[in-house]
Amino acid sequence: MTVIQVDGVFNVRDVGGMPTESGRIREGKLLRSGSLVAATDTGIAELHKRVAHVVDLRDGKEVAAAPSATKTIATTHLPLFLGSVASFFDNDLSLEQMYRQLLEESGERLVDAIRVIARGESTLVHCTVGKDRTGVTVALALAAVGADRDAVIADYALTASQLPEERNRKIVMFLETQHPEAKHAVALATLSPAEVMRSMLDEVDERWGSAAEYLTMNGLTAAELADLRTALVED
């Protein structure tokens, strides 16, 4: 995986290069990031060089409050949370609980996002921070094509180090004011512990058999799964 500098956008990287059961993940095919709201003209030009399609996992309110700075890259909007982002803080969910809820409630939407990746275009997946919704989607896509589990987990864990310190400082202050009793709020907003992703992938295996089987149970066809492998894996 390669961290990419895109002016005005944080947490951008290409997951290409990680080993798989039969080769490695292609470079330039699957990218991930935080939102594109603050992308500068230079950043937008860089995105155009690298990205043919964007998958935006934010809900309508998030998009309205922070619209993407680029209007010229084809974009698929797929709100992944069935509830609001605020509800996770209100209910003081842990990261593990949030990811379990995504798996249980948003399987068809996760499949819809992964269908876009399977088309084979250079695809950028993002949400607001590029940590949770993006992290789960990208991890499932990679796991489904046999990417090395430790590499998938390492990619997820890298996110915490890519979040701007000033952003974290402001959001921690806000959360301490708005949710003073919440035990999980700061972790929910700022952390990406390796053990959380390892636990999620282990749970997928235990409950559904594998990431590929999870996706097929939620509507991904055998042909689409084969397309995903073709799109992402090179011998």
pLDDT at residue 88 in the model? 67
Q: How far apart are the C-alpha atoms of 97 and 99, rounded to whole Å?
A: 5
The number of helices, as runs of H, and strands, as runs of E, in the chain is: 12, 8
Backbone dihedral angles phi then psi of residue 151, each to the nearest 5 degrees: -70, -40
Contacts of 225 (CB under 8 A, 6+ apart): 118, 144, 212, 215, 216
Could you report the per-residue pLDDT of 74-110, keeping only the tens digit for each?
999 999 987 666 666 677 789 999 999 999 999 999 9
- pLDDT for 172 equals 74
Nearest CA to 80 out of 96, 58, 95, 60 is that of 58
| Consecutive 10-residue averages of pLDDT for the chain (235 residues) | 95 97 96 97 97 96 94 95 70 89 96 98 96 97 98 97 86 70 75 97 98 98 98 96
Residue 82's pLDDT is what? 77
The pLDDT, as a whole number, for residue 217 is: 98
- According to the model, what pLDDT value does residue 178 have? 67
C-alpha 40/C-alpha 81 separation (Å) is 28
Which residue type, as a one-letter code, is found at position 61?
Answer: K
Looking at the DSSP bridge assignments, the partners of residue 126 are 33, 56
In the prediction, which pLDDT does 133 show?
96
